[in-house]
């Protein structure tokens, strides 16, 4: 019987170990990414489910950014590939999707949008050395990557001023989605902020998301005789609450929270109802000084207007690419022990660049990052109105009343 050479045995053992999944998640990510001919940037968002329209707009914004960068030579000598990561606005779905994307190989990631999802998925990306450019707004995600959009503590003061100084509300009923994450956090923040401003809270009502009608909720809130109802829910519920209020004979004023800032709010509520219910949000692309060219490019590429978050994702991809170029690479380069530099000391050339961002100009205006938490400061929080074309834009009456520069 012939003896198998030791070198052959070693090679067989190595092959069997790889087949059995013997490498770590960071090794798997690095190997898949290194083998790729492209720079792979994940875009996590609700690409299915009730918030699908939000996720689709986000994905298109990422694709548009990649297309423009690729036309100029790409990044690090490679073309950029946007990898869709569908979390369906659900934490469990998000964890599964994020793990699958990490295993397949990622160089960077933008998203997610929903804070309740981000609380679960953002640490997964960071654990393998990725630096997320997130779109979450709950302070629970502070420090988990970086963001260009406003945070809860930046939103509540603007909403409070809109209710008191603009709408003149002395009493407010709050309807909120109690799902852990942004809406639960901001519901509590708004109650505290309004009470501190001397406003009487006539009702603080938790509403279950996913219903097809909220007439009974509106009737219950209006019965407490508030001057206004503030709904801290995502747009599928926010639109239905606005629709129910519009159908009511009550004269109670309506204001929807930032979570409802999406074209889907208008679609769900109907134009007439949406026009009677302004939304706290961010400027639409066309409201920014350089937004018209982005709007036109988006229309040309996708045959429709951009979603609320399309421009923020577009800027997020471009900011990430800018710092990757300056840093000469991403954070997830493996060390000899399988860890990454980011895991070892939390500080790399990429994160140093992002921490130092000041007056970087994008479609959404000037961007400065607070290195203490990775958040944009100051934030771009406004009140949006629905125009005659059914589009959300900065409400001129609000801007004039509070002296906003829009």
Specify whether the CB–CB gap between 148 and 376 falls below 8 A. yes
Is 236 among the domain residues? yes
Angstrom distance (rounded) from CA 261 to CA 240: 14
Is 19 among the domain residues? no
Closest CA to 42 of 97, 123, 120, 118: 97
* Higher pLDDT, residue 155 or 338: 155
- Angle at 132 (CA atoms; ends 127, 137), nearest 5 degrees: 115
Is 235 among the domain residues? yes
Closest CA to 180 of 231, 102, 118, 235: 118
Is 14 among the domain residues? no
State which residues form the domain around 368.
25-150+290-373
pLDDT higher than threshold 70 for residue 157? yes
Q: Are residues 236 and 122 both part of a single domain?
A: no
pLDDT higher than threshold 70 for residue 181? yes
pLDDT higher than threshold 60 for residue 201? yes
Which pLDDT tens digit goes with each residue over 360-373?
999 999 999 999 99
> Which of the four pLDDT bands, split at 50, 70 and 90, describes residue 286?
confident
Helix (H, G, I), strand (E, B) or coil at 51: coil
How far the first Cα of the chain sits from its last, in Å, is: 86
Helix (H, G, I), strand (E, B) or coil at 344: helix
Q: Are residues 367 and 316 both part of a single domain?
A: yes
Q: Which residues contact 43 (CB under 8 A, 6 or more apart)?
A: 58, 59, 62, 82, 83, 84, 85, 109, 110, 111, 313
Q: Are residues 61 and 128 both part of a single domain?
A: yes
Buried b (16+ CB within 10 A) or exposed e, 315-325: bbbbbbbbbbe
CATH number of the domain to which 117 belongs: 3.40.50.2300
Which pLDDT tens digit goes with each residue over 236-270?
999 999 999 999 989 999 999 999 999 999 999 99
Query: What pLDDT score was predicted for residue 36?
Result: 59
Q: Are residues 229 and 141 both part of a single domain?
A: no
Q: Are residues 213 and 362 both part of a single domain?
A: no
pLDDT higher than threshold 80 for residue 12? no
Query: What pLDDT score was predicted for residue 277?
Result: 98
Q: Are residues 274 and 298 both part of a single domain?
A: no
Is 13 among the domain residues? no
Q: Which residue has the tokens 């793990």?
A: 99
- Angle at 351 (CA atoms; ends 348, 354), nearest 5 degrees: 150
Is 181 among the domain residues? yes
Report the domain count for the chain.
2
Angstrom distance (rounded) from CA 328 to CA 332: 12
Q: Are residues 252 and 390 both part of a single domain?
A: yes
Which pLDDT tens digit goes with each residue over 287-312?
988 888 999 999 999 999 898 899 99
Q: Are residues 37 and 74 both part of a single domain?
A: yes
Q: Are residues 294 and 358 both part of a single domain?
A: yes
- pTM for the whole thing? 0.85
Query: What pLDDT score was predicted for residue 406?
Result: 74
Q: Are residues 178 and 314 both part of a single domain?
A: no
> Which of the four pLDDT bands, split at 50, 70 and 90, describes residue 33?
very low
Q: Are residues 307 and 333 both part of a single domain?
A: yes
Is 18 among the domain residues? no
Q: Are residues 389 and 257 both part of a single domain?
A: yes
Is 8 among the domain residues? no
Closest CA to 398 of 162, 45, 239: 162
């Amino acid at each position: 019987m012939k003896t198998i050479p030791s070198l052959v045995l070693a090679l067989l053992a190595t092959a069997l170990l790889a087949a059995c999944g013997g490498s770590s998640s960071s090794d798997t990510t690095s190997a898949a990414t290194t083998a790729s001919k492209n720079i792979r940037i994940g875009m996590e968002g609700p690409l299915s489910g009730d918030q699908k329209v939000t996720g689709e707009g986000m994905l298109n914004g990422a694709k548009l950014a990649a297309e423009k960068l690729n036309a100029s030579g790409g990044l690090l000598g490679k073309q950029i590939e946007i990898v869709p990561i569908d979390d369906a606005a659900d934490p469990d779905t998000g964890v599964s999707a994020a793990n699958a994307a990490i295993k397949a190989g990622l160089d960077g990631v933008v998203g997610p949008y929903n804070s309740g999802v981000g609380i679960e998925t953002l640490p997964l990306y960071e654990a393998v050395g990725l630096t997320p450019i997130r779109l979450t707004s709950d302070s629970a995600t502070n420090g988990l990557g970086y963001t260009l959009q406003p945070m809860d503590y930046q939103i509540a003061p603007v909403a409070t001023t809109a209710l008191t100084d603009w709408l003149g509300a002395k009493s407010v009923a709050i309807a909120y989605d109690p799902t852990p994450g942004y809406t639960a956090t901001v519901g509590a923040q708004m109650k505290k902020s309004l009470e501190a401003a001397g406003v009487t809270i006539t009702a603080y009502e938790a509403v279950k998301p996913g219903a097809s009608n909220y007439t009974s909720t509106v009737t219950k809130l209006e019965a407490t005789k508030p001057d206004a109802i503030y709904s801290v829910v995502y747009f599928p519920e926010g639109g239905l609450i606005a629709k129910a209020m519009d159908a009511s004979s009550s004269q109670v004023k309506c204001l929807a929270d930032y979570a409802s800032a999406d074209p889907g709010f208008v679609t769900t509520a109907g134009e007439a109802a949406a026009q009677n219910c302004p939304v706290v949000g961010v400027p639409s692309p066309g409201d920014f000084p350089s937004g018209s060219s982005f709007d036109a490019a988006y229309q040309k590429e996708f045959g429709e207007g951009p979603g609320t978050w399309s421009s923020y994702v577009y800027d997020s991809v471009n900011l990430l690419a800018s710092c990757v170029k300056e840093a000469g690479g991403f954070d997830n380069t493996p060390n000899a022990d399988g860890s990454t530099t980011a895991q070892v000391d939390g500080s790399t050339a990429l994160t140093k660049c992002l921490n130092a961002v000041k007056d970087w100009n994008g479609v959404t205006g000037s961007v400065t990052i607070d290195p203490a938490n990775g958040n944009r400061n100051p934030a771009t929080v406004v009140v949006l109105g629905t125009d005659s074309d059914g589009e959300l834009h900065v409400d001129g009456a609000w801007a004039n009343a509070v002296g906003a520069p829009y």
